Amino acid sequence: MRRQNKLTNDELKVIEKKISDEEAFDLFFRDCYLRNLRPATIEYYKNEFHAAKRILDKSLVECTQKDLEELIMTSKRLMKVTTINTRLRALRSLYNFLKKNKYIPSSPMKNIKLLRDRQKTIETLDNKEIEQLIRTIRKKKSFVCFRDEVILLVFLDTGVRLSELVGINVEDVRGNKIIIRQTKNLFERTVYLSEVTQEQLARYIKLRGTVNTDRLFINHDNKELKPHSIQTKFSKYGLQAGISKRVSPHTFRHTMAKRMIVAGIDAFSLMTILGHSDMTITKRYVNLWGEDIERKHNQFGALKGLKL
């Protein structure tokens, strides 16, 4: 039988240069290390790749657009939209890298968009809730409770992320400011403390004493404090204080942002303090809580002028 001038798809597979998932991962993570990505980011990629492989039961480098569409359909029955989008972002990074370096002919993510999700209300704590939380923490006179009070004050005063707070060393505290080194975008920044927080932090450092770690915040065994421990603690305090909202480090960050916006801070200064890499999230905060919105509502509210 005479051969055709054009190779079939099966014949093309014979001569195409193939790459395995293991080889693809090695190349991708080597690039991550060369770009000095955070260990947490690299771990996130690893977790998402392995989770996607489990669901697909197929090599990622052999996936097609249809395979990824099936991944989305299956995932929608198992998890939230935000979780699915987190996985899709990881896969997009992998496929873009492989396509850019010509390890695959095209990206199966090319025509796949992130799922639309409802913008949820950002919860913050009001004055009464903050005061109730402080009173709850102060009920027990212990090193751990005093430490947690200081942690709360630092969160509310500076808006630092949980990962940034646990990365603070004692030497990073310099009077009325703290140097934040373990940042999300790798740019160090300075945050500032009120007099109340300065005084309580100075007392905590004296109480902390000299231990075998440079980390500012330590546990009762004099070892560095882990993020999960802080999350668990404040969730427990929130329940004890009778607060129905989620009480977490991220809630404190939102609360700090809202209080500063209501007080009149400009968006650029807030972006710098919070360590945002661009204005997107900062603008969302300003739009939510800006005084202009409140003033316009008071001026033009639908119930204005009604005698009720």
Residue 106 in domain: no
The predicted model gives 125-145 an average pLDDT of: 94
Residue 228: pLDDT band with limits 50, 70, 90: very high
Bridge partners (DSSP) listed for residue 180: 189
* 82 and 133 belong to one structural domain: no
Residue 41 in domain: yes
* 96 and 160 belong to one structural domain: no
Residue 105 in domain: no
Is the pTM higher than 0.95? The answer reads no
Q: How many independent structural domains does the chain possess? A: 2
* 67 and 181 belong to one structural domain: no
Q: What is the pLDDT of residues 255-299, one digit of tens each?
A: 998 888 888 888 888 888 888 877 777 877 777 776 655 566 666
CA distance 304 to 146: 47
Q: What is the pLDDT of residues 200-220, one digit of tens each?
A: 999 999 999 999 999 999 999
Q: Is residue 168 scored above 70 in pLDDT?
A: yes
Residue 127: pLDDT band with limits 50, 70, 90: very high
* 70 and 164 belong to one structural domain: no
For the ranges 2-11, 77-86, 194-203, 208-217, the lowest mean pLDDT is seen at 2-11
Residue 17: pLDDT band with limits 50, 70, 90: low
* 132 and 93 belong to one structural domain: no
Residue 308 in domain: no
Residue 94 in domain: yes
Residue 110 in domain: no
* 92 and 144 belong to one structural domain: no
**Among the three residues 100, 115, 141, which one is the final residue of a domain in this structure?**
100
* 63 and 147 belong to one structural domain: no
Question: Would you say the C-alpha torsion 190, 194, 200, 206 has a positive or negative sign?
Answer: positive
* 133 and 242 belong to one structural domain: yes
* 142 and 279 belong to one structural domain: yes
The predicted model gives 103-121 an average pLDDT of: 85
Q: What angle do CA 128, 283, 289 make, to 5 degrees?
A: 30
Instruction: Let me know: does 274 contact 253? Beta carbons within 8 Å.
Output: yes
Q: What is the pLDDT of residue 281?
A: 77
Q: What is the pLDDT of residue 285?
A: 76
- Most confident stretch, 74-88, 106-120, 260-274, 293-307: 74-88
Q: What is the pLDDT of residue 3?
A: 63
* 188 and 79 belong to one structural domain: no
Average pLDDT over the chain reads 87
Q: What angle do CA 100, 101, 104 make, to 5 degrees?
A: 85
CA distance 3 to 246: 69
Q: Is residue 64 scored above 70 in pLDDT?
A: yes
- Percent of the chain at pLDDT > 90 equals 64
CA distance 285 to 307: 34
Residue 11 in domain: no
Instruction: Give the CATH number of the domain where residue 183 resides.
Output: 1.10.443.10
Backbone angles phi, psi at 305, to 5 degrees: 95, -10
Tell me the residue range of the domain where 33 lies. Answer: 17-100
* 205 and 289 belong to one structural domain: yes
**Among the three residues 100, 117, 146, which one is the final residue of a domain in this structure?**
100
* 88 and 192 belong to one structural domain: no
DSSP SS3 for 190: strand
Residue 306 in domain: no
